[in-house]
Chain A
Amino acid sequence: MPDQADIMLTVEDAACWFDVSPPWLARVVERRPRRLLKAVDGVSFTVRRGTTFSIVGESGCGKSTLARLVVGLIQPTRGRLSFGRVDEAAGAGAAPRVQMIFQDPYASLNPRWRVADIIAEPIRELGLMRHSVDIEARVAELLGLVGLARNDACRYPHEFSGGQRQRISIARALATQAHFLVCDEPTSALDVSVQAQILNLMRALQAELNLTYLFISHNLAVVRHMSDEIAVMYLGRIVEQAPAEELFAAARHPYTRLLLDTIPDLEAPNRSRAPLAGEVPNPIDPPAGCAFHPRCARAVERCRTETPELRTIAGGRAACHLVEQAA
């Protein structure tokens, strides 16, 4: 267990349920029941300071909801999120500043604002600086930090490419003097060559500013490049968690293995692999027992009835009856 001072974020049994019931009239007239979408259902993990914790999973498994929980855009239905303290210049411990990098670089910048105003907004809003000369200098510094030119400040977002816009997003997040960045698929909308640039920039910034990342992606290659610790999510729950290299070397959960199997391999482009059968079940009406059993090649009777718990095993945690039996 890591040292207490070393922990940036602790999530304990966090759940986020959405009420997706039909309108009141339809419920009464057509006798349709209330329905709950359990987007995140009992997730616990800790993120250590200065590291990258990644969450992977298919679309609809609740990773974006988890990201929004962490930045406080939505409140958890159950459970707790607590942040470690960071030392401010004043000496007193304060809650870390949490910022978010979004997936779509075309929607994450206000199209009517100049870049200078976009990056300066948090500085003004949080009252970090008073004088416009200071703010201007800080904006120029931030632009330099993310690899953009100083005179990009007076241009509009539409004049930039996707990768450049993502750099502007990062600059805006850093303008708050953030300690903790939640990155929700920051590179999935970018070209592969640009992806690498952005990821390398993020790693460089992490080393330079001692940032902590919660990195959310469906791209395992990207996650491997970035992560210290990886959690695999399926239908609102974590099914496996392990240090990055361990997960790639010896995945235990059948779902993780399936995901790893889908990574294209340059060395063996035609190797036979089990296709990722089926789709993610409807989270409003999840299967009984282990949520993964309808797609699992190795499912046994017990998987259909009993929900496996996330248990600590050598090198990480996994939620699978078979792994439990093997251990």
Chain B
Amino acid sequence: MAVDVQAVAPRPSRLARFLKGDIAWSFRKSPVAVGAAVVLIVIAVTAFAAPLISPQNPYDLKQLFLDKAELPPILSKDGEWPYLLGTDPQGRDVLSAILYGSRISLAIGLLSVALAMTIGVTVGLVAGFFGGRVDNLLMRIGDTVLSIPTLLVAILVSAVFRELLPQNMREGFSAAILVLSIALTGWVQYARTVRASTMVERRKEYVLAARIIGVKPSRIMRRHILPNTLTPVLVAATLNLGLAILSEATLSFLGVGMPVTQPSLGTLIRIGNQYLFSGLWWVVVFPAVQLALIVLSVNLLGDWLRDALNPKLR
């Protein structure tokens, strides 16, 4: 939709305007938001660069040494370099496992939020724009999904998919199944948000003007209404990222999520839980702290974004 009007003076680029804008200003003024963002960036970068920076590949059996098993963190008396956070009974480095696990957790969280957002925004736009029976049908489906506990739906979906897939494919698809089952329960919130703002926008005169010109409904929804409904969706998406990561961890902890061969943070906590009473606290505490850090900083960022985008709070 960009029209290049060369005859006029150049305007500052999008990025330059963004950096000078209200959002960037409010970000700089909020130490909590800056702190959360820094923590999140560090976690994300180290997680996605895990194969490059972690001391060992915890899933390569050739790199595991049983004589290095059950080492405590490096700050205690028996700690050993390079096992900063200690090792588990198989000689796996806890730090490396956390980095690899965070990568899986973050990826599943981001993908499931993206999928839930796509489904929810589409459903909300269609329901809000057309109204009437379409709206009724879609929203009742949403109500039904919401009336069943999230975890139950997720367990059901993963159980069904597990049965449908042949044995040898189950592990490969477990991440996809998780993304799908979290997204299938998460889309309703986006649908409701978008439906509400679509119903407001579609009555506005700029939408009527487009209808008089003869713009097709799909185009009006995409080009006119969607951009004007996205602000609350972005806030919801940020807050839901934390929830999605937690759901993934819960499912993995319960054993219906990621398998032991590709452990996410939830799987690591489940494995570590078994050693808690043998005194190997570091195997479970450090993955749990990492999970808490991720969810906390995502939520703090989401809270800040919600306030920053609310014109009444400026």
Contacts and interface: CB of A to CB of B under 8 A. Distances in A.
B224 interface: yes
Interface in B208-260: 208-215, 224, 227-228
Nearest to A98: B212
Interface in A30-55: none
Given A151-B8, A151-B9, A108 B209 contact: yes
Given A132-B4, A151-B8, A102 B205 contact: yes
Interface stretch (A118-126, A239-247, A312-320): A118-126
Contacts of A126: 213-214
A121 B215 contact: yes
B133 interface: no
Given A153-B5, A154-B8, A110 B213 contact: no
Interface size range of chain A in the complex: 35 or more
A153 B211 CA distance: 22
Interface in B1-53: 1-5, 7-9, 11
B8 A122 contact: no
Contacts of B173: none
Contact of B7 (A113, A117, A150): A150
B228 A111 contact: yes
B206 A150 contact: no
Nearest to A184: B205
Contacts of A86: none
Contacts of A140: 7
A71 interface: yes
Contact of A121 (B11, B210, B227): B210
Interface in B136-178: none
A72 B8 contact: no
Contacts of B204: 107-108
A169 B214 CA distance: 16
A120 B227 contact: no
B207 to A, nearest CB: 8
Interface in A122-159: 122, 125-126, 132, 135-136, 139-140, 150-151, 153-154
Given A110-B224, A116-B3, A100 B11 contact: no
Given A120-B3, A132-B3, A154-B11, A125 B213 contact: yes
Nearest to B6: A136
Nearest to B226: A112
Nearest to A102: B205
B8 A113 contact: no
Interface in A54-77: 71-73
A116 B8 CA distance: 12
A73 B211 contact: yes
Given A73-B208, A102-B209, A125-B213, A136 B3 contact: yes
Contacts of A116: 3, 5
A117 B5 contact: no
Nearest to B214: A125
Given A153-B8, A154-B5, A154-B8, A110 B228 contact: yes
Given A99-B212, A121-B213, A153-B8, A108 B3 contact: no
28 contacts: A72-B212, A73-B208, A73-B212, A99-B213, A100-B209, A100-B212, A102-B205, A103-B205, A104-B205, A108-B204, A109-B206, A110-B206, A112-B227, A114-B3, A121-B210, A121-B213, A122-B213, A126-B213, A132-B3, A140-B7, A150-B7, A150-B8, A151-B5, A151-B8, A151-B9, A153-B5, A153-B8, A154-B8
Interface of B: 1-5, 7-9, 11, 204-206, 208-215, 224, 227-228
Interface of A: 71-73, 98-100, 102-104, 107-114, 116-117, 120-122, 125-126, 132, 135-136, 139-140, 150-151, 153-154, 169, 172, 176
